[in-house]
Each structure stands twice: as structure tokens, then as C-alpha cells.
Amino acid sequence: MRAKKRKVVAYGREVVDNFPEQGEQGIKFNVFSTGRHLDKEEARQIFQEGVRGKDTEGIHGTGHGLSFVQHVVELHGGIVGYERTPEGNNFYFILPMISAIEQC
């Protein structure tokens, strides 16, 4: 009997030490999905304006979403990224955490 492939999307967050600088903290937001891994070229370009993943022909989309996310995150002092995982793909962004004292 063949195991049925599962499709999963999950999200979460975690505190990251030493971001954006030594001794500071950031918060990393993750969006995970199962599916084929992006190849190196695709992963390098995925946040560029108008770029869509392979195998998206016939699926609605413009390739602006991840580029927009990158612009907003960078305006707030953060970074975006992609990483392969054993079961799929993780797209993430990290923002600096600002304490209530710093905001005053």
C-alpha cells in the first residue's frame, strides 16, 4: 500500500537572538508549506518583482506578493528569506523587536 502524500500549510513565530545586531532580539515569522523544493535559481529570485514559481502556469497570480512583503519588511528594518526543510518549504521574515521603553 502506497502512503498518501499530505498537503500542509502551517505558520508560527519564534524569538531570534542577535538580530538585527549583537545583543538585540528579533521575531521570526514562518510560513511553511509542503511541496517540491525551489531550485537554487528560483529561490534566489522568488522575492523579485513579477517573479512566480515554476509550475504556476494557469494559476492566477502576478508575482507581486512576495516582493511587496519584502519591501514592507525591509522598511521596518527586517529581512525576508526562504529555506528548504525536509518536508517542504519555509518562507520567513524577521523583524527587530522594539521594547516599550524604546518607543517612548
- Mind listing the pLDDT tens digit of every residue in the chain (104 residues)? 666 778 899 999 999 999 999 999 999 999 999 988 988 988 898 888 877 766 666 666 667 788 999 999 999 999 999 999 999 999 999 999 986 556 55
pTM score, whole prediction: 0.80
Helix and strand totals (H; E) in the chain = 3, 4
Parse the chain into domains and list their residue ranges.
Answer: 47-85
Instruction: Give the CA-trace dihedral at 23, 24, 27, 32, to 10 degrees.
Output: -40
Q: Where are the alpha helices (DSSP H) in the chain?
A: 40-45, 65-75, 100-103
